[in-house]
């Protein structure tokens, strides 16, 4: 039977996101930021993060796919593109988790084709020990070990996204 062992509780997550929001607001000041949410995993993180940012923001969504079950396939595809024209704008890519880095590397290269002024990355979770592509992450919530996690937007075969905590899925 599937079991979930709590790693980060709701309060811990909210405290961290508040800190990230303050840091981002300080860095961007009055400059407008386009928050680009990578669907589906980052949708809850984005919803909370955007409310802790005091700089002017607008929001758009992109969707990529590469995971099947608990394994990355390395074969990244964009399945939904941005709707806004982001030429000359500051983009902040909001990610749920960076694992091998293949998804993010591909997404950032793809986003540059839209000719933004800048691209920074904000991820809630960083599985650094699994990294296969070197990437500069600008804002990181928590670093985690090699565990398959669910909750707070993250799924296992489309389940558990609604949990207000993050936990390890034990199969």
Q: Which residues bind ligand 5GP (CB under 6 A)?
A: 41, 66-67, 72, 96-104, 127, 148-150, 154-156
Which stretch of DSSP H or E encloses residue 147?
none
Least Cβ distance, residue 87 to ligand 5GP (angstroms): 26
Tell me the C-alpha distance between 166 and 171, whole Å. Answer: 16
Residue indicated by tokens 């398959």: 148
Residues with catalytic function: 99
Could you tell me the end-to-end alpha-carbon distance of the chain, in angstroms, rounded to an integer? 7
**CB < 8 Å & 24+ apart, contacts of 109-113:** 110/62, 110/78, 111/36, 111/62, 111/82, 111/86
CA 138/CA 31 separation, integer angstroms: 17
At 77 the three-state DSSP class reads: strand
- Tell me the closest approach of the beta carbon of residue 64 to ligand 5GP, in angstroms: 7
Please report the beta strands in 10-164, taking only residues with DSSP state E, as ranges in sequence order: 33-39, 57-68, 71-80, 90-98, 118-126, 139-143, 149-150
């Amino acid at each position: 039977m599937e079991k979930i062992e709590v790693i980060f509780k709701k309060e811990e997550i909210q405290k961290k996101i508040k800190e990230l929001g303050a840091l981002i607001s300080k860095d961007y000041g009055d400059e407008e930021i386009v928050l680009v949410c990578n669907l589906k995993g980052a949708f809850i993180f984005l919803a909370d993060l955007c409310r802790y940012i005091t700089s002017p923001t607008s929001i758009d969504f992109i969707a990529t796919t590469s995971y099947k079950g608990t394994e990355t396939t390395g074969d990244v595809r964009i399945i939904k593109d941005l709707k806004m024209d982001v030429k000359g704008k500051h983009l902040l890519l909001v990610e749920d988790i960076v694992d091998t880095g293949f998804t993010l590397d591909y997404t950032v290269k793809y986003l540059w084709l839209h000719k933004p002024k800048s691209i920074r990355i904000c991820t809630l979770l960083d599985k650094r020990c699994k990294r296969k592509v070197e990437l500069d992450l600008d804002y990181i919530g928590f670093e985690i070990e090699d565990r398959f996690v669910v909750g707070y937007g993250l799924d296992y075969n489309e389940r558990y996204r609604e949990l207000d905590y993050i936990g390890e899925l034990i199969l």
